[in-house]
């Protein structure tokens, strides 16, 4: 059983998790500048860490090229994400945290809890497959559920779907979405795209009800939402 002291350093775990997350969310190739923006560090700091990760066999990166995880790097990333997402789920389900509060707490705890502790959380919660934001929780052996999803910002006019995942990196955005009653399970229909205005018009059906309302949504917020046509 792996324990916290036998793992890579906190900084190594943070880097591979960010690389995996950027790959998983499908926002384009992973670059040094993209990682630097996400981690709030300089490009040179990212370059230095990538050299270390390359030596550890966790990433593949050539100078001025894109970044990708090796099989070993993916394994480390999935282990961190399992801890992070199960901790978020536990904080919401058992300790009364709201979905905008758990990310930062889990960022700290994920590096210190043992796998035994996390496995017990999973069993206690009934082995959940998604966290409070709809992010898939890796199994103990690194498997993930796969769902057909599309970013709301990339949906076409007339598209209908159910919100199944929300980017959890911005607490202010999560609070805004909660205020306008858009969350997991909300059914939406794209009425009109307004790209030059940076927004879109939606019909929203809160909580899966048949009662609809109109909602204008900025494309920045729409880029943080995934919908599934199969769940509509």
pLDDT of the residue at 211: 80
CB–CB of 69/23 below 8 Å? yes
Global pTM value: 0.85
- Per residue of the chain (232 residues), what is the pLDDT tens digit? 455 557 889 999 999 999 998 888 766 789 899 899 989 999 999 999 999 999 999 999 877 778 999 999 999 999 999 999 999 999 999 999 999 999 999 999 999 999 999 999 999 999 999 999 999 999 998 888 888 899 999 999 999 999 999 998 899 999 999 999 999 999 999 999 998 999 999 999 876 567 889 999 999 999 999 999 876 5
Which residues are bridge partners to 165 per DSSP?
226
Structural tokens at position 53: 């990760």
Q: Which residues does 214 contact at the CB level (< 8 Å), separation at least 6?
A: 191, 201, 202, 203, 204
Predicted local distance difference test score (pLDDT) of residue 62: 76
Please spell the DSSP secondary structure of the chain, one letter per residue.
---GGGSPPHHHHHHHHHHHHHHHTTSS-B-HHHHHHHHT--HHHHHHHHHHHHHTTSEEE-TTS-EEE-HHHHHHHHHHHHHHHHHHHHHHHHH---TTTHHHHHHHHTTTS-HHHHHHHHHHTT--SB-TTSPBPPPTTS-------EEGGGPPTT-EEEEEEE--S-HHHHHHHHHTT--TT-EEEEEEEEGGGTEEEEEEEGGG-S--EEEEEEHHHHTTEEEEGGG-
- Which candidate, 138, 26, 204, places its Cα nearest to that of 34? 26
Whole-number Å distance between alpha carbons of 1 and 3: 6
Please give the full DSSP string across 86-103, using - where no structure is assigned.
HHHHHHHHHH---TTTHH
- CA angle, 27 as apex, 157 and 139 as ends, to 5°? 105
């Amino acid at each position: 059983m792996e324990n916290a002291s036998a793992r890579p350093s906190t900084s190594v775990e943070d880097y591979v998790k960010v690389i995996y997350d950027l790959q998983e969310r499908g926002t384009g190739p992973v670059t040094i500048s993209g990682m630097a923006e996400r981690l709030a560090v300089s490009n040179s700091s990212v370059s230095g860490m990538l050299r270390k990760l390359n030596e550890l066999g966790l990433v593949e990166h050539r100078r001025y090229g894109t970044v990708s995880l090796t099989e070993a790097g993916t394994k480390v990333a999935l282990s961190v994400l399992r801890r992070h997402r199960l901790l978020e789920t536990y904080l919401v389900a058992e300790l009364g945290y709201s979905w905008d509060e758990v990310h930062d707490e889990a960022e700290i705890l994920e590096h210190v809890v043992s796998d035994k502790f996390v496995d017990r959380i999973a069993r206690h919660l009934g082995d959940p497959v998604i966290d409070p934001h709809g992010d898939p929780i890796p199994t103990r052996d690194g498997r993930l559920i796969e769902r057909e999803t599309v970013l709301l910002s990339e949906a076409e006019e007339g598209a209908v779907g159910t919100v199944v995942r929300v980017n959890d990196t911005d607490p202010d955005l999560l609070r805004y979405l909660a205020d306008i009653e858009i969350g997991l399970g909300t059914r939406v229909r794209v009425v009109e795209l307004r790209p030059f205005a940076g927004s879109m018009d939606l019909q929203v059906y809160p909580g899966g009800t048949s009662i609809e309302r109109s909602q204008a949504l900025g494309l920045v917020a729409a880029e943080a939402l995934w919908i599934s046509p199969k769940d509509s």
